[in-house]
Structure 1
Amino acid sequence: MKNKNFDIIIIGGGATGSGIALDAASRGLKTLLLEKNDFSEGTSSRSTKLVHGGVRYLEKAVKQLNKDQFNLVKEGLKERSRLLKNAPHLCSKLTLITPIYKWWELPYMFVGLSLYDFVSGTKGLGRSGIISKSKMLKKFPVIKKDGLVGGVKYYDGSFNDSRLTISLLQTARKHGADCRNYNEVIAFKYDDNQKVIGVEVLDKINNEKKLYEGTSIINAAGVFADKVNELDEQKAKKMLDLSSGIHIILDKKYLPSKEGLMIPKTEDGRVLFILPWMGKCLVGTTDDPTTLSAHPEVKENDVEYILRHLEIYFDLKIDKSEILAQWCGIRPLVAPDENADTSSIVREHEIRENKSGLISIIGGKWTTYRKMAEQLVDFVYKSQNMKKEKCRTKKLKLIGSKKLDVNYVSNKVDINTNEYLISQYGDKIDEVLSSVEKIEYLKEGEPYTNAEVIYTINEEFVKKPMDYLVRRCNVALIDKKVSIEILEKVLQIMKIELSWSEEQTIKEKEEALSLLNNSI
């Protein structure tokens, strides 16, 4: 592609950037999205997998009479409803239960969660309720029995973050957007008035430099937004405070129910979730100030923190060797004017414009990605004095959901693989399975096939083994051992499909193993 002129060039292929690409393209804007690594490789694939308004934000809103916190919850609940309708193959209703060990906490929690229902209004997913001790023990056999009074249940949403990013990008591409991973913006191009009019890009796969021109350039680089901003203004004021959070994956025996647990207050006043996800038990998260890293490492003290709290609420002692996978993500929080604990920052977003015309969008959270994108594109129309086209994403069904039949059964694969493919690819299951003449499993007893690998290469921007293992099939996020066991077969398929040399294949294997054995 030569120097094409775009209406909008977006830097960053995570939740925010992908949402902007879809919003802009669906309104008819000529759109280019550039991501320096793989799509959703950073924060956007390392969330707690919840689509929510934020129960803890509501508690703070009430206690502190904080209108900003309250509005954030209300907006999140509205967007939660839209997301569950627009991508039902990737998003679903989830029952969350809080175990109660003191009698006085039962009415307190029930009233608080009933307020959450009230704020949800017509967008609510169900009414909160009190659960007896006997039912709690039946649902969660390993929960600590001593002192258990009962529980309080409420409803929120669960989703697959990295898969949602791909669905957004596929839908954006269908509307004409050009979406490119492994394309790093290394400099900006300016006109005679020092207004930014383009980007110089390094294609990291082909090791080529390219120049793209655009009317509006958007910095939606998430945790790397400050780095992108510094390409435009060397002494730019810091926009973000960074906070890290880890998650661990355990066997489903620790959470045999399809319902999750919310621990409302840890030893340092945080919220801990124990959730069913992809047939496993996901536990997280922590919240600590951190520094920027492309592959943040999981710290031992954070793992010990989570295991310590599990021992408080479970009657089983969990050994570190039982952890199937673990990962760390970095939250891009809008920096406050004064130094503050990152756990107390309101996770609202902001849109800022430099003197050069570079537009940055920072902060926010997954649940409100669509609203953030809508506001950003509205801002672009206003800044360019263009006649605004109406936003079309409120009711726009994403790729994979348009003809979704959750009861569909393919005769090409076993029932477990069928269920897995529908949960990941929705109504594209037949397209996935039609990618090969003969379906071969990558490992006996696991749902991953050669057809899925080839489909993700052809249709889902896969360029490297970790793109598939982490962010398309998610195996590396739920079982590191299995991901290492199937790596060789994935490499051999990619070698043929992407015409790799033996030398390139060895290099890709070394890179993948390094990440799998350290930090994905």
Structure 2
Amino acid sequence: MSTASALQRQMTFEQLENNVFDVLVIGGGITGAGLSLDAATRGLSVALVEMQDFAAGTSSRSTKLVHGGLRYLKQLEVKEVAELGKERAIVYENGPHVTTPVWMLLPFHKGGTFGKFSTSVGLRTYDFLAGVKKSERRYMLTKDQTVEKEPLVKTDELLGGGVYVEYRTDDARLTIEVAKAAIEKGAVLSNYTKAVEFLYNKKKKIVGIVAEDVLTGKRFNIQARKVINAAGPWVDDVRAIEEKPKGKHLILSKGVHIVFDESKFPLKQAVYFDTPDKRMVFAIPRDGKTYVGTTDTFYKGDQREMDIEQADRDYIMDAIHYMFPTVNVTDADIESSWAGVRPLIHEEGKNPSEISRHDEMWESKSGLFTIAGGKLTGYRKMAEGVLNTITAQLKSEHRVKSGPCITKDLRISGGDIGGSDNLQQFIQLQGRKATAYGLTQQEGEYFAQHYGSNAPKVFKYAQVSQQLLPKAVYAQLMYGIEHEMVVHPVDFFVRRTGNMFFNIASVQAHKEAVLTVMALTFGWTDMQKAQYAFELEKEITRATTAK
């Protein structure tokens, strides 16, 4: 039986080493997690390795929107918009606890990217292509109505606005919930496990990998009939294990977001707006904070050591002051920030904003499948296409039988709450139930929104007698370790809770106690604890300080 407990890594390694899998996925972002879930639910045996933590790359550092691709209408990518819009609704219904519909304001000014006519037609076309349900279709606003909707928007040369629905998500939690669903279906997943070499048969075809436990340095073999490279920004690095990548290759685009407390930037309405250089960025309220982004610049360097430059902050601050002139924020008001990269398939002569976000798959001579490009919203459909190809090969080459794709109507982990229409009722009910475990109703409601139908499992940890952490923090931490493969403190603060970005005060308040609890739980030496403390401080500095 596969497990999602960080305390049972050795058992996971034994499963990886002692089986021959139908499919082995390299990469634990949303693409890899989606592939694992799709393959497992078709009846295939599946393994996945991730050299860092799940969602440690692009999948925890996006704009945190499962969006329908309105921006792609400008590039006339009609098919893209239609598919993304439909997938957005599927992602929401299968995991409503990690995806939330939000009304987005698109103000238009004289000389801006969108005018009254283009906004109206564009949003109407978007609704049609994306199959938006009636209750979420766009509507238009006059200048006065736009100001009433969001008083902070600049009024100079304001002509009006359009309002449409986007879907806000917690990208890292979406990824971990998909990964947990794959494990529940029998897939074997392991973080901090790196593919370092390929295994070949006599015909020089790839039949597995040499994997390394990043925590101990121990190496072992994982055998598989098909290997998929879904390493996101690192797909070319994985390809390079075999040979220097030729032909298609990735180009990385850096995106930065900055976060303010709502007392400093009291945005009441999500806004998609023009920048001075005619790009468009988002400003989004979330849990008492407002975050703004993103930049879009070519990036070369180590994605794991990516810092936020002062120029990145300046660009976003200029955009804020341009569209929200009464918001007098300065760098001193920035609470936290994050930087990530978009892995784009290179197109000669185009700048980052112009390069298509479409996904592509190709197979090397030795049989390595590589999937690159794509968007968070389309992860499920992308996995379906890849697995359709691979299952056909497995059937013809190995006589491996598999079923059809069933993920369209499959709830991810935590998503079994009775449908999206039942979410608010579910949250209120769990809030009341939480009080029996020593939690407040507010904490219980937060857990229900954060963990969905897994919330009752989290509640139980609040009953444990301990003095180091508040009940709610301890419950989240231990659930993360035993059910979500939390290995490092950074896993917990960044990708399981999001506190590094949206509640930095909580990180500062509880970091020492979290380190102590984890050290006791895992049996760390003093040297190991000091190393993890150093890594955590480095991430705090990276989130709060510009270079």
Question: Which bin holds the TM-score, normalised by the shorter protein?
Answer: over 0.9
- Which one is further off, 52-61 or 411-420? 411-420
Deviation for aligned residue 1:340: 1.9
Aligned to 1:98: 106
SS where residue 158 of structure 2 aligns? coil
Aligned to 2:86: 78
Q: Deviations over 1:306-364 (max 9, x none)?
A: 1111111211221101111111110011122x232121111111111000001100000
Deviation for aligned residue 1:442: 7.8
Whether the 8 Å CA contact 1:465–1:512 is kept in 2: the answer is yes
| Bigger helix share | 2
SS where residue 197 of structure 1 aligns? strand
Aligned to 2:7: none
Deviation for aligned residue 1:288: 0.6
Query: Out of 138, 152, 156, which is 1:128 matched to?
Result: 138
Aligned to 1:478: 502
Aligned to 1:26: 41
Q: Deviations over 1:233-262 (max 9, x none)?
A: 235345211111100111124665653101
Q: Deviations over 1:278-330 (max 9, x none)?
A: 33111110111111421311111111111111111211221101111111110
Change in Cα spacing, 1:344 to 1:30, as seen in structure 2 (3 Å) is same
Deviation for aligned residue 1:162: 0.2
- Which one is further off, 418-427 or 452-461? 418-427
Confirm or deny that 1:245 pairs with 2:259: no
Whether the 8 Å CA contact 2:519–2:529 is kept in 1: the answer is yes
Aligned to 2:456: 430
Whether the 8 Å CA contact 2:468–2:517 is kept in 1: the answer is no
CA distance in structure 2 between the partners assigned to 1:448 and 1:396 by the alignment: 30
CA distance in structure 2 between the partners assigned to 1:233 and 1:219 by the alignment: 14
Change in Cα spacing, 1:418 to 1:150, as seen in structure 2 (3 Å) is farther
CA distance in structure 2 between the partners assigned to 1:394 and 1:206 by the alignment: 39
Aligned to 1:45: 60
Query: Out of 69, 72, 89, which is 1:57 matched to?
Result: 72
Whether the 8 Å CA contact 1:199–1:212 is kept in 2: the answer is yes
SS where residue 89 of structure 1 aligns? coil
Aligned to 2:305: 295
CA distance in structure 2 between the partners assigned to 1:122 and 1:27 by the alignment: 29
Aligned to 2:222: 212
Whether the 8 Å CA contact 1:456–1:462 is kept in 2: the answer is yes
Change in Cα spacing, 1:154 to 1:235, as seen in structure 2 (3 Å) is closer
Confirm or deny that 1:198 pairs with 2:208: yes
Q: Which residue identity does 2:291 align to in structure 1?
A: L
Confirm or deny that 1:332 pairs with 2:346: no
Change in Cα spacing, 1:122 to 1:233, as seen in structure 2 (3 Å) is same
Aligned to 2:285: 276
Aligned to 2:8: none
Confirm or deny that 1:496 pairs with 2:520: yes
Q: Deviations over 1:431-475 (max 9, x none)?
A: 10202424779888xx95111101100000100000000000110
Q: Which residue identity does 1:189 align to in structure 2?
A: L
Query: Out of 370, 388, 399, which is 2:413 matched to?
Result: 399
Confirm or deny that 1:510 pairs with 2:519: no
Query: Out of 133, 144, 167, which is 1:157 matched to?
Result: 167
Deviation for aligned residue 1:125: 5.7
**Structure 2 stretches lacking a partner, 5+ long:** 1-13, 418-422
Change in Cα spacing, 1:26 to 1:254, as seen in structure 2 (3 Å) is farther
Aligned to 2:332: 321
CA distance in structure 2 between the partners assigned to 1:186 and 1:216 by the alignment: 17
Change in Cα spacing, 1:245 to 1:122, as seen in structure 2 (3 Å) is closer
- Which one is further off, 165-174 or 285-294? 285-294
Whether the 8 Å CA contact 2:267–2:284 is kept in 1: the answer is no
Change in Cα spacing, 1:448 to 1:139, as seen in structure 2 (3 Å) is farther
CA distance in structure 2 between the partners assigned to 1:235 and 1:31 by the alignment: 26
- Which one is further off, 274-283 or 77-86? 274-283
Aligned to 1:421: 447
Change in Cα spacing, 1:442 to 1:118, as seen in structure 2 (3 Å) is farther
- Which one is further off, 71-80 or 415-424? 415-424
- Which one is further off, 481-490 or 4-13? 481-490
Q: Deviations over 1:126-153 (max 9, x none)?
A: 1211224444334433333444343211
Whether the 8 Å CA contact 1:46–1:329 is kept in 2: the answer is yes
Matched residue count: 509
SS where residue 407 of structure 1 aligns? helix
Q: Percent same amino acid among aligned pairs?
A: 34
SS where residue 136 of structure 2 aligns? coil
Change in Cα spacing, 1:493 to 1:443, as seen in structure 2 (3 Å) is closer
Query: Out of 450, 475, 481, which is 1:451 matched to?
Result: 475
Whether the 8 Å CA contact 1:140–1:256 is kept in 2: the answer is no
Deviation for aligned residue 1:481: 4.3
- Which one is further off, 417-426 or 485-494? 417-426
CA distance in structure 2 between the partners assigned to 1:313 and 1:271 by the alignment: 11
CA distance in structure 2 between the partners assigned to 1:309 and 1:179 by the alignment: 41
Deviation for aligned residue 1:380: 0.8
CA distance in structure 2 between the partners assigned to 1:124 and 1:199 by the alignment: 49
Q: Which residue identity does 1:278 align to in structure 2?
A: D
SS where residue 51 of structure 1 aligns? coil
CA distance in structure 2 between the partners assigned to 1:442 and 1:362 by the alignment: 44
Q: Which residue identity does 1:80 align to in structure 2?
A: R
Confirm or deny that 1:369 pairs with 2:379: yes
Q: Which residue identity does 2:333 align to in structure 1?
A: E
Change in Cα spacing, 1:135 to 1:439, as seen in structure 2 (3 Å) is farther
Change in Cα spacing, 1:206 to 1:311, as seen in structure 2 (3 Å) is same
Change in Cα spacing, 1:56 to 1:235, as seen in structure 2 (3 Å) is closer
Whether the 8 Å CA contact 2:82–2:131 is kept in 1: the answer is no
Whether the 8 Å CA contact 1:168–1:399 is kept in 2: the answer is yes
Confirm or deny that 1:344 pairs with 2:354: yes
Aligned to 1:466: 490
CA distance in structure 2 between the partners assigned to 1:9 and 1:359 by the alignment: 10
CA distance in structure 1 between the partners assigned to 2:135 and 2:344 by the alignment: 28
**Structure 1 stretches lacking a partner, 5+ long:** 62-68
Deviation for aligned residue 1:155: 1.0
Q: Which residue identity does 1:389 align to in structure 2?
A: G
CA distance in structure 1 between the partners assigned to 2:245 and 2:102 by the alignment: 45
Whether the 8 Å CA contact 1:440–1:449 is kept in 2: the answer is no
CA distance in structure 2 between the partners assigned to 1:440 and 1:102 by the alignment: 60
Change in Cα spacing, 1:226 to 1:54, as seen in structure 2 (3 Å) is same
CA distance in structure 2 between the partners assigned to 1:327 and 1:125 by the alignment: 34
Confirm or deny that 1:179 pairs with 2:184: no
CA distance in structure 1 between the partners assigned to 2:245 and 2:65 by the alignment: 37
CA distance in structure 2 between the partners assigned to 1:179 and 1:305 by the alignment: 39
SS where residue 531 of structure 2 aligns? helix
SS where residue 209 of structure 2 aligns? strand
Q: Which residue identity does 2:427 align to in structure 1?
A: V
